[in-house]
Amino acid sequence: MSQVVLYQIVYILILAIVPSNTGLNNLHFIDGTSTAEIIAGDVFFEITDPVELEYTYRIRPAKDFGAPFNESYIVKNAALVPIIPKYGSFIERGECSFKKKSLIAEQAGARAVIITDISKANEEYFIEMIDDDSEGEVHIPAAFLMGKNGLMITKTLERLQRQYAIINLPVNLTFTPAHKMNQPPWLGW
Asked if the structure places residue 61 within a domain, the reply is yes
**What pLDDT, in 10s, does the model give residues 56-104?**
998 888 888 888 887 778 888 888 888 654 443 444 455 778 888 888 8
Highest mean pLDDT among 32-36, 105-109, 115-119, 137-141: 137-141
Q: How many domains does the chain have?
A: 1
Distance CA 173, CA 44 (A): 7
Asked if the structure places residue 62 within a domain, the reply is yes
Higher pLDDT, 37 or 82: 82
46 close to 166: Cβ distance less than 8 angstroms: no
Distance CA 165, CA 111 (A): 15
pTM for the full model?
Answer: 0.70
Helices and strands: H and E segment counts in the chain: 3, 7
Asked if the structure places residue 163 within a domain, the reply is yes
What pLDDT does residue 157 have?
92
Asked if the structure places residue 85 within a domain, the reply is yes
Residue 21: pLDDT band with limits 50, 70, 90: very low
Q: How far is the CA of 19 from the CAs of 28, 30, 43, 92, in angstroms?
A: 7, 7, 20, 36
- Here the CATH number for the domain that contains residue 89 is 3.50.30
Ramachandran region of residue 94, left (φ > 0), alpha (ψ -120 to 50) or beta?
left
Asked if the structure places residue 74 within a domain, the reply is yes
Cβ contacts of 28 within 8 Å, gap of 6 or more = 20, 22, 34
What pLDDT does residue 84 have?
57
Asked if the structure places residue 52 within a domain, the reply is yes
The answer, yes or no, to whether residue 160 has pLDDT greater than 90, is yes
Residue range 3-16: mean pLDDT, rounded: 32
Asked if the structure places residue 184 within a domain, the reply is no
- Quick check: helix, strand or coil at residue 159? helix
Residue range 4-13: mean pLDDT, rounded: 32
Residue range 144-154: mean pLDDT, rounded: 87
Residue 176: pLDDT band with limits 50, 70, 90: confident
Domain housing 83: 3-16+31-179
